Structure 1
Amino acid sequence: MSGDVRVPGHDEAIAPTLRRLRSRPRWLAGLYAGNARAVIGRGFRVIRAQNWGVIATGFFEPVFYLLAMGLGMGQLVGELPGPDGRPIPYAMFIAPALLATSAMNGAIYDSVNNVFFKLRYAKLYEGMLATSLGPMDVALGEIFMALFRGLLYSIGFLGVITVMGLVTSWWALAMIPVALLIALGFASIGMAVTSFITGFQQLDLVPVVLLPMFLCSATLYPITVYPEAVQWFVKALPLWHGVELMRQLSVGVFTSMTGVHVAYFLVMSVIGIAVASLRLRRLFLR
């Protein structure tokens, strides 16, 4: 009598998983199982059950900044040069920058705080990687959930600045996919960095990095106020590229740097996903 126990329908149930595993490129065999949607599905179930209120609160931060700085201080500042050199109201100057910042914050806090708890305390990823899922499935799934948060913030804030008359071109519709690109870059790097964090105290370093980057990346004033050496440093920061790209879209003006801004976030995303995947494999699949 054979020792094998067959469960009715078992072979049919796992057939799609087996096909995905066989179709993987060989170099991805240890990283990717082609089933990131399982992680995404779990993420949406958690949001539906308990997280909508927490997510919604992040929408209001850039709106409050816009009301306080753009409309309040804008009465004192007046106009500033736009992407094409023509003067624009101060509120129109900072609104695209706040949209880029909103995408960054939503992605970072989702890919750092949430991922850290799941990684170090809930041991969720350890359980996921005990199944057929690979480290890249987990990384892509979590990064997608961070993008979803960035998407909600971007759509809401774009609606606000459109109603306020702070966008003047149909190219502004492209600010939503660009916000997702910005969120992708920051979420990827955020998850990679989180894999190195071992204690809650280290999470305090995140706002220490984000706040100066927000204040110094030409979000609230032109980069020309800095000495040239400082300008080069600011231009190396990812948020500056996002801010400049958003400003160009808000008025429909493009330069030779537009492609550089996009390429910056594409490279940033690839590096972040690769590092996060390799770190998860090292932490749990040694």
Structure 2
Amino acid sequence: MSTTTQAPETTRTGLLLRVLPVGMYAGRSRALVERSFLVNRRTWLQVVSGFFEPLFFLFGLGFGFGKLIGDVVGPGGETISYVAYVAPALLAASAMNGAVYDATFNLFFKLKYAKLYDAVLATPLGPLDIAIGEITWALIRGALYGTGFLTVMLGMGLLTSPWAVFALPAAILIAFAFGALGMACTTFMRSWHDFDLVQLALVPMFLFSTTFYPITVYPGAVQFAVKCFPLYHAIEVMRALCTGYVDASIVGHLAYFVVMALVGVVVASRRLGKLLLA
């Protein structure tokens, strides 16, 4: 029985070992996930703290401005409350925050100061194991944020469509893509001052990616720029699933994150190999 269940995994690992350069991948990335779990279980308050920022926006802006604005036009042209319009966008932002902060700040400390990965590479693990393991932990953190936020939305009666059951898998994909991209960018950073650039990217993206108002408020050129933002595509996915207005365009939005995740994993593993094995 054990041979039957382990054969596919062994086959996939064998294929990767034949395709990748020697020393890049050992198929043991789960060891990094286990380490992250053991370390963060003692700092659980820090882990869950990022969940509250979008929640505060939901209560402050969703209900505060919602009382002034009233109902708005939803993705399908239907009339919905402002809080129902904003909540899916904040769900996407919650998944993004959970993944990005873990894949940037924490990873930079491990890479530059703790020298964790120098020790890891002294074991059979390779750079791709590190990339997949750390991105997986960032995904788990983003998924936790997304799950908590979905629970709040469910309690508030904001999940009225059967499509909402796919919101959590979509949040996991979004978290994985942002985690991969965040890790790839972190490998290019030289000091803590470079994290100002992270905030310079995240804050405008959060404010202008149709989080609080539709894209039609922008002129055409600005609309094109906004559509290039990853968070815009995340918001479109979440808004479609939570409101029930799902069409073929959601495939394109999801494909955006598949490509983003693949590029992030490849760049991150190659950069780690260059930094740690050179």
Number of residue pairs the alignment of both structures matches: 268
Say which of 109, 132, 145 aligns to 1:153. Answer: 145
Q: CA RMSD in A?
A: 1.5
Give the aligned residue type for 2:230.
P
Structure 1: tracts of 5 or more residues without a match = 1-17
Q: In 1, distance between residues paired with 2:60 and 2:13?
A: 53
Residue 89 of structure 2 aligns to which amino acid in structure 1? A
Q: Tell me if 1:42 matches 2:35.
A: yes
Equivalent in the alignment of 2:110: 118
In 2, Cα distance between the equivalents of 1:62 and 1:265? 21
Structure 1: how far apart are the matches of 2:217 and 2:32? 45
Counterpart mapping for 1:1-286 below 5 A: 24-30=16-22, 31-48=24-41, 50-286=42-278
Structure 2, unaligned runs of 5 or more: 1-9
Compared CA separation, residues 29 and 249, structure 1 to 2 (3 A): same
Q: Deviations over 1:159-209 (max 9, x none)?
A: 111111112112112111111111111100000000010101111211111
> What amino acid does structure 2 have at the position aligned with 1:253?
Y
Distance in 2 between the 1:194 and 1:238 partners?
17
Structure 1 residues 162 and 132: CA distance shift in structure 2, 3 A: same
Residue 22 of structure 1 and its aligned partner are, at CA, apart by 5.8
1:124-183 CA-partner distances (Å, limit 9, x unpaired): 011111211011100000011111111111111101111111121121121111111111
Letter in 2 for 1:248: A
- Conserved? CA contact 2:139–2:172, under 8 Å: yes
The letter for the 1-side match of 2:63 is: L
What displacement does 1:253 show? 1.6
Q: Taking structure 2 as the reference length, what is the TM-score of the superposition?
A: 0.93
Q: AA paired with 2:40?
A: I
CA shift for structure 1 position 20: 9.2
* Counterpart-to-counterpart distance in 2, 1:83 and 1:249: 10
Structure with bigger gyration radius: 1
Q: Does the residue aligned with 1:88 lie in a helix, a strand or coil? A: strand
- Distance across 2 between alignment mates of 1:128 and 1:261: 36
